């Protein structure tokens, strides 16, 4: 039984219900499994199903797309019950208990609501007659806005559910490409001997978006890119690149290694806060040749808002494998392209016997480029001799495109994560200690920016962020790829 709290919200329409539909269509849901959609809106079941058909169908994308009249969509709707409920009031939960009692399969409670409601929802579930002993609870981000508030949320949920019943979503962990990064590292012996400070000069992790705040102005203005993208998605990617090989693929073995990386992140010194961290905010510009307004002109944004829509950081991991290797993290809204990629730059050859090409930051060296989106690929950039006379070196890429190598459709992140929650596989969910270690690392930066007199650096929508981000790289003797 899958209970979706916040069932009329944006996330439910865009991600959760489309993902459940695809799982239903692919016969991955238990034949008798039902979906109980809960929200405070006083819809009848028919009204709610109409709402879902109007609002969720468009997000079932690509080859999966579906028409609301299709039999398969109608059979999906037949699984859904709707329960209007005041989430903070214990009384209505009895009706939920009755619906759940009709079916004895494991209950999954998905909390796609404001985290401010998590405590009440969990307490009301506990006070009802619902049997929670085998249940699972899925928590959507943001889980707090700093370490203290995340502690409070985790404590409240822990009063009702044990840690191994709690599934904290970071949808980046559900992306096929992130799993492929694990496969690249732990199913191939080729890279492991090179995966360390002796061979790697630096690592860059970028999540660039063309989108702006997309009708979420009010939420975003109180959040900013550091909380929205760095504390979770970028740090999870960093852990996937930097963790030690776990002893098994068991959820806790993997999560033990990730938390070690987070705890080894070098804390920001006063100097780092100035020199190794850049925050930016977009001003009006053009994305894909379309004019777009600046952040301050977006609906729901405070006139003098200092919320960052761009962050670039120079991080380091204090352990034997990585000491001294810069990890550059970058994310932003309204950037030139949508791209998520990891670039591992290897050290140049120790002694060049051939004439090596030079880039602005020295001899060109090997790079491993792992592209997560929009298209998924891995490229190994090598140097090769240009055909013809002389020994003229030129970078060439050994290219693995996953689209070409695999014809099968690849599941969306939410599809995989929802099925994992239903099946009880915690590997791709964030454990409490990971989440809190990530907050602990970003918190000095949050506090510094909050009290700082200097506002975020402006950048034009459609660019690659403020020039300060390029300057930060130059100080470390590196460059973002657009600067080459």
Q: Which positions lie near ligand BG6, rule CB under 6 A?
A: 209, 211, 228, 340
Considering only the C-alpha atoms of the chain, give the largest distance between any 2 of them, rounded to a whole number of Å.
84
Pick between residue 15 and residue 34 the one whose CB is nearest to ligand BG6: 15
State the nearest-atom distance from the C-beta of 220 to ligand BG6, in Å. Answer: 7
**Neighbouring residues of 474: CB distance < 8 A, sequence distance ≥ 6:** 361
Bridge-partner residues for 330, per DSSP? 206, 312
Nearer of residues 125 and 336 to ligand BG6, judged by Cβ: 336
CA distances to 74, 179, 196, 325, 371 from 322, in Å: 53, 22, 6, 5, 22
Question: From the CB of 354, what's the least distance to ligand BG6, in Å?
Answer: 40
CB of residue 260 vs ligand BG6: minimum separation in angstroms? 24
β-bridge partners, 203: 327, 344
Q: How far is the CB of 351 from ligand BG6 (least distance, A)?
A: 42
Give the shortest CB-367-to-ligand BG6 separation in angstroms.
22
Q: In this structure, are residues 236 and 431 in contact, taking their beta carbons and an 8 Å threshold?
A: no
Q: Which residues does 47 contact at the CB level (< 8 Å), separation at least 6?
A: none
H-run or E-run covering 120? helix 118-127
- When the beta carbons of 89 and 214 are compared against ligand BG6, the nearer one is 214
CB of 211 to ligand BG6, least distance (A): 6
Contacts of 403 (CB under 8 A, 6+ apart): 375, 376, 377
Of residues 231 and 365, the one with the C-beta less far from ligand BG6: 231
88 versus 296: smaller Cβ distance to ligand BG6: 296
- Write down the catalytic residue from 24, 233, 314, 381: 233
Residue nearest ligand BG6 (C-beta atom): 228
Taking only Cα atoms into account, the Rg of the chain, rounded to an integer number of angstroms, comes to: 24
Residue 8: helix, strand or coil by DSSP?
Answer: coil
Determine whether 448 is an active site residue: no
Closer residue to ligand BG6 in complex, CB, 140/272: 140
Q: Cβ contacts of residue 278 below 8 Å, gap of 6+?
A: 310, 311, 312, 313, 457, 465, 466, 468, 469, 472
Strand order in the sheet with 166-168: 80-84, 35-39, 2-5, 108-111, 136-139, 166-168
Active site amino acids? 233
């Amino acid at each position: 039984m899958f209970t979706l709290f916040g069932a009329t919200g944006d996330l439910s329409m865009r991600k959760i219900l489309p993902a459940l539909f695809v799982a239903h269509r692919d016969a991955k849901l238990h034949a008798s499994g039902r979906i109980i959609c809960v929200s405070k809106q006083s819809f009848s079941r028919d009204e709610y199903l109409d709402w879902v058909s109007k609002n969720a169908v468009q997000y079932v994308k690509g080859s999966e797309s579906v028409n609301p009249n299709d039999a398969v969509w109608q059979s999906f709707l037949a699984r859904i019950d709707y329960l209007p409920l005041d989430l903070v009031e214990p009384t209505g939960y009895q009706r939920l208990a009755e619906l759940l009692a009709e079916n004895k399969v494991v209950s999954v409670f998905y909390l796609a609501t404001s985290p401010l409601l998590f405590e009440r929802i969990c307490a009301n579930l506990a006070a009802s007659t619902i049997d929670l002993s085998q249940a699972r609870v899925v928590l959507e981000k943001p889980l707090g806005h700093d370490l203290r508030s995340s502690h409070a949320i985790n404590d409240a949920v822990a009063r009702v559910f044990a840690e191994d019943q709690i599934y904290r979503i970071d949808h980046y962990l559900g992306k096929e490409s992130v799993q492929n990064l694990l496969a690249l590292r732990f199913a191939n012996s080729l890279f492991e001997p090179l995966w360390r400070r002796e061979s790697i000069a630096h690592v860059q992790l970028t999540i660039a978006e063309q989108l702006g705040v997309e009708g979420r102005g009010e939420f975003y203005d109180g959040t900013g890119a550091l909380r929205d993208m760095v504390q979770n998605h970028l740090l999870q990617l960093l852990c996937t690149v930097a963790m030690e090989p776990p002893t098994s693929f068991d959820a806790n073995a993997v999560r033990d290694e990730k938390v070690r990386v987070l705890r080894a992140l070098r804390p920001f010194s006063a100097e780092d806060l100035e020199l190794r961290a850049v925050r930016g905010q977009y001003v009006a510009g053009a994305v894909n040749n379309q004019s777009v307004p600046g952040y301050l002109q977006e609906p729901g944004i405070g006139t003098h808002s200092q919320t960052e829509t761009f962050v670039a950081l120079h991080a380091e991991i204090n352990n034997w494998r990585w000491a001294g290797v810069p990890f550059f993290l970058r994310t932003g809204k309204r950037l030139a392209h949508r791209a998520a990629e990891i670039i591992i730059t290897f050290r140049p050859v120790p002694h060049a016997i051939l004439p090596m090409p030079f880039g602005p930051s020295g001899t060109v060296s090997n790079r491993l480029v792992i592209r997560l989106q929009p298209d998924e690929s891995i490229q190994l950039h090598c140097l090769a001799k240009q055909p013809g006379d002389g020994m003229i070196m030129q970078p060439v890429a050994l290219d693995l495109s996953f689209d070409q190598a695999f014809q099968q459709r690849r599941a969306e992140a939410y599809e995989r994560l929802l099925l994992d929650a239903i099946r009880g596989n915690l590997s791709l969910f964030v454990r409490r200690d990971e989440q809190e270690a990530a907050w602990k690392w970003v918190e000095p930066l949050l506090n510094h920016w909050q009290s700082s007199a200097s506002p975020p650096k402006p950048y034009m929508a459609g660019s690659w962020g403020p020039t300060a981000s390029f300057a930060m790289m130059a100080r470390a003797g590196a460059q973002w790829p657009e600067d080459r």
